[in-house]
Amino acid sequence: MALVTEYFGSLAFDETAMKKYLPRETYDSLKKTIDEGKHLEIEIANVVASAMKDWAISKGCTHYTHWFQPLTGITAEKHDSFISPVGDGKIIMEFSGKELVRGEPDASSFPSGGLRATFEARGYTAWDPTSYAFIKDKTLCIPTAFCSYGGEALDKKTPLLRSMEAINVQAMRILKLFDPNTDVACIRTSVGPEQEYFLVPKEMYDQRRDLIFTGRTLFGAKPPKGQELEDHYFGTIKPQVDAFMKELDEELWKLGILAKTEHNEAAPSQHELAPIYTQANIATDHNQLTMEIMQKVAKRHGLVCLLHEKPFAGVSGSGKHNNWSITTNTGVNLLKPGKTPYDNAQFLLFLCAVIKAVDEYQDLIRISAATAGNDHRLGADEAPPAVISMFLGDELSAIITALETNTHYDPMEKTQLQLGVDVLPPLPKDNTDRNRTSPFAFTGNKFEFRMVGASNSIGDCNTFLNTAVAESLRQFADILEGADDFKTALNKLIRETIKRHKRIIFNGNSYDDAWIKEATEERGLLNLKTTPEALGEFLAPKNIKLFTTHHVYTKTEMKSRYEITLGNYCKTIRIEANVMVDMVYKEILPAVTSYVKEICEAGNAKKALSVSIPAFYEETMASRLGKIGSDIFERVAALEDAIHNSPSKGDVTALAFHIKDKVIPAMKTLRASCDEAEYLTAEKYWPYPTYASLLFGLQ
């Protein structure tokens, strides 16, 4: 078998391929575009396109596609072949710079939230040269941004790229204040998303309409054994899963995706994949690809990979841990505590920028993880609550307090902290007191945002976070650039920022009810429990101001995103509700009735033979199940009512609240009766595989 070092990145048009296929000058121009965002001339694009085509053909490709991330949250592509007729029934394989830099997918059916009137339905895709082209299914895939003709973003990538530029501009202002001769040319946000998922046997998946149509189980009685023994986490990996993980790693490595660790997670059949971090937009592309390839590889192993946030009730859900930091092009992590007072002052200022951003834009951070699927997870006891807070750890918190109150940090040494004057004590490198309950935790040299759902794109959370931090840095730079004495102004700024925003810092157990009470009642933090409630804050004037100031979204783009996000929420739940109704009438009620019939017949047979044979069990069971059957029948009708009495589709806000307040509760009560019926019914009558077989069915 080939060595990993040899095939790593073999399906990506990366540095190695570029160097091999591009003339020197073209390579240099392209590098300038990639590293510094310089405009790329069409002549250069022509050369790049032709080289990409030669490279792709050498790997067996016949087609190319502009690969993009519309607001549905998944990826989209439209394939074109390279062939071009040259007369006499002959063809050549061609790919021009124009085709590389711009595409026109027929995009009328992608959601635009009213941005694109149907008559100008075509949006266009624009090449993102900072993310390498790659090969998937013998097709050359070109990562692109997707916009309307009016220039409005119709995807998740364009705003992310804009937010990266926003934070770059503001962070550079700060770095220049600390060192006017800095050799840093730009900063980038780095992201490493840890991806959780479930694997279930395909033959069982195929028997469950809920999994097929919605990606999660809508019914299912609690199995006799769940995850209470915690024997799965970091346990031995089963051979079937091991084979899947090995092939997944290989496929990802070929694409140049830095898959690093694979292990079991808390729930039975739950696993995690962590890549090595990379620049935010590339990490986002890679995460989308990872999700796609996970699902594809699973099928080859007789498995189905579930990326839903809550595939099983009563069992841990799946999330994504978005590890985030700020790195200079010279390789310095600005969120890494330094060794000298000078480094530490800069570190603390960036830390304060994040503290301020997360406090002021808690609503946006929460919204970035708001989906129908994730609503089952946030606030349940295995996931962070819907309240945003920040974990800094005891030591860093003590330093922050000392700075705020101008008091001694180390009572033994009686040193007074003066930024930029004294050497700060070495800051914690490794947070041994790791807090797993915090939604936003500092983990030594990066922040880990744990709320994102497993199937979500990480585009939004990084866009929002970058922009919010860019705004803190902008305000800081305005103050510091105008200061008479930098050091005095810096000390004052840090102190005031801590004072004003420390309410967001919480090092305790975020799963604790007492915390939710303290957070909301004493600290005034937001508790936006559901997607409709969270989205209600999106268009607040302060948020519109934030995004428009930094040119990340226009007001129109924000409105369209609001509509699309809530629209997706409504559609998701309506589909789930319809699938429930379908399963109840076609599968569950017939199963219950057949079983009741069998019991009744057995009871009758006993009585017919002799009145002295006890038929107590049959009578009790038949009447109990008969009663549950009636409940199911009533409750399914109530759910149908809730679905059909929805407010008009034109008002997506009203519809979303109707769904949250009427449809979801009706689904819950219906499920409760059905699960009770499953619990009592003989297995051979039950129409779909149980939780026990789904969760423990793998070899």
Interacting residues toward ligand ADP by CB under 6 A: 190-192, 194, 274-277, 323-325, 333, 443, 445-446
Q: Smallest distance, Å, CB 189 to ligand ADP?
A: 8
CB of 518 to ligand ADP, least distance (A): 27
Q: How many angstroms separate the CA atoms of 420 and 38, rounded?
A: 36
Least separation in angstroms between CB 265 and ligand ADP: 13
Shortest Å, Cβ 283 to ligand ADP = 8
Nearest Cα residue to 379 out of 588, 205, 193, 534: 534
With CB under 5 to 8 Å by kind, the binding choice for 275 among ligand ADP, Mg ion, none is ligand ADP
User: Nearest to ligand ADP by Cβ — which residue?
Assistant: 192
DSSP-assigned letter for residue 577: H
How many other C-beta atoms can be found within 10 angstroms of the C-beta atom of residue 262? Answer: 17
Report the residue number, 328 or 491, with the smaller CB distance to ligand ADP: 328
Q: Measured from the CB of residue 316, what is the shortest distance to Mg ion in angstroms?
A: 15
Chosen from ligand ADP, Mg ion, none, partner binding at 21 (C-beta under 5 to 8 Å by type):
none
Angle (CA) 355-358-362 rounded to 5° is 150
C-beta closer to Mg ion: residue 321 or 474: 321
* Minimum CB distance to ligand ADP smaller for 27 or for 277: 277
The answer to whether the Cα torsion of 515, 518, 524, 527 is positive or negative is: positive
- Residues with Cβ < 8 Å from 637, sequence gap 6 or more? none
* CB closer to ligand ADP out of 103 and 275: 275
Looking only at residues 306 through 345 of this chain, which bind Mg ion when binding is defined by CB under 5 A? 321
CB-wise, 86 or 276, nearer to ligand ADP?
Answer: 276
Q: Between 81 and 333, whose beta carbon lies closer to ligand ADP? A: 333
Considering the complex, state which of residue 443 and residue 673 has its C-beta at the smaller distance from ligand ADP. Answer: 443
Q: Rounded to the nearest whole angstrom, what is the least distance from the CB of residue 194 to Mg ion in the complex?
A: 5
Q: How far is the CB of 351 from Mg ion (least distance, A)?
A: 19
Helix (H) or strand (E) holding 603: helix 589-609
CA separation for the pair 330, 532 (Å, rounded): 43
Q: Which does 191 bind (CB under 5 to 8 A by kind): Mg ion, ligand ADP, none?
A: ligand ADP
Q: How far is the CB of 286 from Mg ion (least distance, A)?
A: 17
Per the CB < 8 A criterion, the answer to whether 17 and 135 are in contact is no
Binding partner of 232, given Mg ion, ligand ADP, none, CB within 5-8 angstroms per partner class: none
- Which of Mg ion, ligand ADP, none does 333 bind, CB closer than 5 to 8 A by kind? ligand ADP
Are the C-beta atoms of residues 305 and 311 closer than 8 Å to each other?
no
Give the DSSP per-residue string, 218-284: S--PPPSS-STT--STT-PPPHHHHHHHHHHHHHHHHTT--EEEEEE-SSTTEEEEEEPPEEHHHHH
Q: Pick from ligand ADP, Mg ion, none: which does 254 bind, CB < 5 to 8 A by kind? A: none
Phi first, then psi, for residue 596 (nearest 5°) are -60, -40
Please classify residue 86 by burial: count the beta carbons closer than 10 Å to its beta carbon, then call 0-12 exposed, 13-18 middle and 19+ buried: exposed
What is the rounded CA–CA span in Å between residue 396 and residue 298?
43
Q: How far apart are CA 82 and CA 91, in angstroms?
A: 9
Residue with smallest beta-carbon separation from Mg ion: 321
3-state secondary structure 335-349: CCCCCCHHHHHHHHH
We find the least distance from the C-beta atom of residue 138 to ligand ADP, in angstroms, to be: 30
Do residues 579 and 210 make contact, with C-beta atoms less than 8 angstroms apart?
yes
- Residues 392 and 442 sit within 8 Å (Cβ to Cβ): yes
Q: Which pair of structure tokens corresponds to residue 229? A: 């023994």
Please identify, using beta-carbon distances, which residue of 330 and 630 lies nearer to ligand ADP: 330
- CB nearer to ligand ADP: give 193 or 268: 193
How many chain residues interact with Mg ion (CB under 5 A)?
Answer: 1
Residues that bind Mg ion (CB under 5 A): 321
